[in-house]
Structure 1
Amino acid sequence: MTRRKSIALQAGAIGSAALIALAGCSSGDDSGGDGGESVTVAIAGEEPYSYLDDSGEATGASVALAEKILGEDLGYSVDTELTDWDSLIPGLEAGQWDAVSAGMSVTPERCAQAAFSEPEIMYTTAFLVEEGNPLGVENFEDIAEKQEAGEDIRVVTLTSGVEAGYTEDLGIEKTGVGTAEDGVDFVTGGRADVFALTAISLKAMAGDIDGYEVTDPFAHEVSAGATVFPKDNPELLDKYNERLAELKESGEFLDIISEFGFTEEEVPPADLTSAELCEGNIDELNEKYLDS
């Protein structure tokens, strides 16, 4: 159903400082791809959003959406570049790429730096822990209470991941890592007790690791991911959003993301907007969209 593009940078993650020195490769033409223009899309190695398959090709739900909308529908040639999570928005700001397709959560802090499409995927959180969950942690509040009581619970999150914000809000001590693979390695290598990440990612990446388990998903607060664009390219964002709405209305949107394990449960409510998420009125969002 979708095309698979070769990753342009397979040699490893690019540091954010190096991004500024790299020349951007977008055409700057927002009229569409009929003239052969290309767009460069950054991805991060996190299943099932955007990652490399066994043959080194870019795949995942976010990649499939970019290839469908930007490539097939708008006519651009879609190039993909792999980088670490912390470099995604800095690279976008530096002009290294035209969009980020990595399932990035829409937050007020990120909205100050970049422009988000309308919501594409709803998120729940889970923990990677030792089999049997000997520490008995099922949500962030459990960790906060146990750390406050003096228990030594070593927690890791993506440094710039939404989970890092959750832990900071609750005063949880944690270590930040640059990639989801690093988070898994921290736990399986004995350097951490808990890795917090979106539930569907943990299940895809670590659900079958002997001696470890992924806890049941939970919703800490309303969280949704979207494709990210630079603030100075509203035309491309508008075109993307227009086609995204059509895919949702027709049902083709779910067909695309279901190929990677997503279900109707992960499809955002029809009336949830990125503008609401950017405003960050969490209590209001929770009351409106989370099950009571």
Structure 2
Amino acid sequence: MDSKTPLMRGVALSAAALLVLTACGDNGDDDADVDEDNGADVETEDNGDDVDTDDEDADGDDDAEAGADDDELTIALFGEEPYSWIGDDGEPTGATIAVAEEIFENRLGYEVTIEEEPNWDNLIPGMSAGHWDVVSAGMSITEDRCAEAAFGEPELVYTTAFLVEEGNPEGLETFEDLQDADLDVVALSGAVESGWMEDEGIDHDTVDSADDGIDFVDGGRADVFALTAISLEAMAGDMDGLEVTDSFAHELSVGAHAFHPEDDELLEEFNAELEDLMESGEYLELVEEFGFTEDEMPPSGLTAQELCEEDPAELTEEYIED
């Protein structure tokens, strides 16, 4: 489809639904108290494309119905450059959005509505509740997430970096350097960086958005913000007084689109078109505009099933350290 997608700036949730989603999100660390409004009161454009949550299920099942409604599809994005965010013109943009629009609109012919979810922890619960059909946010495929969502095949490989004071006075290079350091560290709630630091026994707080993490370091409330390297470079690489450290690969981290676990048909449609984009080189052409290169393309042969089911350390050794 050639027409522009309508934009819903906020999440069209009722107050009750918001409480459900908040309960579903794992915000286990509340020490970092973010004062920003997380979007509950954002005015949402009424475009009539609300997602059917299966209130009229013939079987009387109250669970959200999996899958797109006929030719309509709702996609959730998360405000993190260069994956998916709302541009200055009010339109959705980013590498994963470019891919989603190419596949779902241009190739599969869906009428797409794109919504912004400002809280990372709400992305999968919101999909499970039927508020959107797909998450387009560069979400890394992990075993825990695979228990709640289905993932398309691998798209982008990520490395990690730290946002620190200019000059990197502590000489931070990897998570190892944080273990014995007396520093205030933050990570995105529910992100792989937070999980890795938990595994390594590194004390840290969490924030709900990438912007919050940057603000914490910029405002002196934290010494370190850990996030994917390409995001930190895009969002804070030019900020006065701050520095993004050299990137490192702690563990194999691969992003993809996420789907409702029962929506096999939509997932298969997407994967078929994704494979064609990858093989033709068109995928790289789509994401190059947002700073991705051949270095971020997934290793040949790597599958979403492997990332869901196999030991991350073994995959890291096979695909990164080999």
Tell me whether the two structures share a fold, i.e. TM-score over 0.5. yes
**Alignment-derived partner of residue 92 in structure 2:** 58
1:50 and 1:13, CA in 2 relative to 1: closer, same or farther beyond 3 A? farther
Query: Residue 44 and residue 252 in structure 1: after superposition, are their counterparts in 2 closer, same or farther (change >3 A)?
Result: same
List runs of 5+ in structure 2 lacking aligned partners: 22-49, 55-64
1:49-128 map, 5 Å? 49-83=83-117, 84-128=119-163
Give the Cα–Cα distance (whole angstroms) in 1 for the partners of residues 131 and 99 of structure 2.
20
What is the alpha-carbon distance in structure 2 between the residues aligned to residue 18 and residue 86 of structure 1? 12
Please say if residues 232 and 244 of structure 2, whose CA atoms lie closer than 8 Å, have aligned partners that are also in contact: yes
Question: 1:166 is aligned with what amino acid?
Answer: W
Question: Are residues 1:188 and 2:215 paired?
Answer: no
Residue in 1 that maps onto 2:31 = none
Aligned pair in 2 of structure 1 residues 183, 17: CA closer, same or farther (>3 Å)? Answer: farther
Map 1:128-277 to 2 at 5 A.
128-146=163-181, 151=182, 153-277=183-307
Q: Percent identity?
A: 52
Amino acid at match of 2:72: S
Q: Which amino acid aligns with 1:65?
A: V
After TM superposition, the structure 1 stretch with the greater mean CA deviation from structure 2, 277-286 or 173-182, is: 277-286
Write out per-residue CA displacement over residues 190-218 of structure 1, whole angstroms, 9 at most, x where no aligned residue. 11000000000000000000000100010
Task: Give the alignment's Cα RMSD to 1 decimal.
Answer: 2.5
Please report how far the alpha carbon of residue 279 of structure 1 lies from its aligned counterpart in structure 2 after TM superposition. 1.2
Could you tell me how far 1:283 is from its partner in structure 2? 2.1
- Alignment partner of 1:225: what SS? strand
Return the TM-score normalized by structure 1: 0.90
Tell me which residue corresponds to 2:7. 7
Instruction: Return the alpha-carbon distance in structure 2 between the equivalents of residues 20 and 251 of structure 1.
Output: 41
Residue aligned with 1:42, SS: strand
CA separation of 1:11 and 1:51: change in aligned 2, threshold 3 A:
same
Structure 1 residues 38, 29: closer, same or farther in 2, change over 3 A?
A: farther
Provide the C-alpha distance between the structure 1 equivalents of 2:16 and 2:151, rounded to a whole number of angstroms. Answer: 20
C-alpha separation in 2, matches of 1:62 and 1:19: 28
List, as ranges, runs of 4+ consecutive aligned residues in structure 1 with deviation greater than 2 Å: 2-7, 9-17, 23-30
Mapped to 1, the partners of 2:250 and 2:16 lie a distance apart of 29
Q: Deviations over 1:170-199 (max 9, x none)?
A: 011111111100000010011100000000
Once the two structures are TM-superposed, the CA of residue 257 in structure 1 deviates from its matched residue by 0.7
Instruction: Quote the offset at 1:59 in angstroms.
Output: 0.2
Determine the C-alpha separation between the residues in 2 that align with 1:236 and 1:222.
Answer: 26
Q: Distance in 2 between matches of 1:171 and 1:93?
A: 31
Q: 1:20 to 1:40 in 2, by over 3 A?
A: farther
Q: Secondary structure at the match of 1:168?
A: helix
Amino acid at match of 2:180: E
Structure 1 Cα separation of the partners of residues 246 and 221 of structure 2: 22
- Once the two structures are TM-superposed, the CA of residue 135 in structure 1 deviates from its matched residue by 1.6
5+ long unaligned stretches in structure 1: none
Distance 1:112 1:15, change over 3 A: farther
